Amino acid sequence: AQTVTQSQPEMSVQEAETVTLSCTYDTSESDYYLFWYKQPPSRQMILVIRQEAYKQQNATENRFSVNFQKAAKSFSLKISDSQLGDAAMYFCAYRRTNAGNMLTFGGGTRLMVKP
Amino acid sequence: GAGVSQSPSNKVTEKGKDVELRCDPISGHTALYWYRQSLGQGLEFLIYFQGNSAPDKSGLPSDRFSAERTGGSVSTLTIQRTQQEDSAVYLCASSRQSSSGNTIYFGEGSWLTVV
């Protein structure tokens, strides 16, 4: 079974600074997808960024980028120029490419942004 | 609608009562998922529907939990004889197909409290 681990229950960053959230996963699959979701107090999970395992290039979405290390099974999220609106729970998730493909989530990291 | 819609938003019920939670997926989405999020925890997969195929019920925690999806659209999650440990946010999500490349969109969840 696949597992996703987020070792940082809480992180704090100063506004305009950069923060990196860690995620590791365990799988025997060679092809899969990885995601970072943001969950603000409204509870709705919002997709931040996704990475296909077969792609070597790290995904980037504006201020959000990932460091995907396939051999190490590591998938960290970097938030640059942090904004107050970035404060939320962040969940790392894994999804297989074949059938029966639900998302497997990590335990989450609460990000606080200090003004 | 524009997004995944869930009702009720909040539900308080007495221990031993049955509850029904409803999910309206995004129009045209054939895949529908239910997840449970206990306080301060990550998301736990419950059940997955894809088109007319038999649902993947592998995540349902007990036989008190069941779900239906009528007409390939609206889904209802039913919890019978509720227990206090059932208190959680129940999140519904949908995607266009079951393909792992398709983004999964989440609703805002139904917050269930069993007293």
Q: What is the pLDDT along chain A (115 residues), one digit of tens a residue?
A: 679 999 999 999 999 999 999 999 999 888 899 999 999 988 889 999 999 999 889 999 999 999 999 999 999 999 999 999 999 999 999 988 765 568 899 999 999 999 9
How many CB contacts within 8 angstroms connect chain A with chain B? 57
What is the full DSSP assignment across A1-23?
Answer: --EEE---SEEEEETTS-EEE--
- B111: nearest CA in chain A? A43
Say if A89 is an interface residue toward chain B (CB within 8 Å): no
Provide the pLDDT for residue B70: 84
Q: How many whole angstroms separate alpha carbon A5 and alpha carbon A75?
A: 10
Q: How many whole angstroms separate alpha carbon A10 and alpha carbon A88?
A: 10
Give the residue among B27, B31, B18 at the shortest CA–CA distance from B79: B18
Q: Which residues of B touch A100 (CB under 8 A)?
A: 48, 56
Minimum distance, in Å, between the CA of residue B46 and any CA atom of chain A: 10
Low-confidence stretches of chain B (pLDDT < 70) are 1, 98-101
Residues in contact with B54: Cβ distance below 8 Å, sequence separation at least 6, in sequence order: none
Give the residue among A2, A29, A11, A26 at the shortest CA–CA distance from A86: A11
Q: Which residues of B touch A33 (CB under 8 A)?
A: 100-101
Position of tokens 């681990």? A5
Say if B42 is an interface residue toward chain A (CB within 8 Å): yes
- B59: nearest CA in chain A? A102
Q: How many whole angstroms separate alpha carbon B69 and alpha carbon B74?
A: 6
- A43: nearest CA in chain B? B108
Q: How many whole angstroms separate alpha carbon A97 and alpha carbon A82?
A: 32
Tell me the residue ranges of DSSP E strands in chain B.
5-7, 10-13, 19-24, 31-37, 43-50, 65-69, 75-79, 88-95, 105-106, 110-114
Q: Which residues of B64-91 are buried (b: 16+ CB within 10 A; e: fewer)?
A: ebebebeeeeebebebeebeeebbbbbb
Residues in A 28-87 with any Cβ partner in B closer than 8 A? 32-33, 37, 42-47, 50, 52
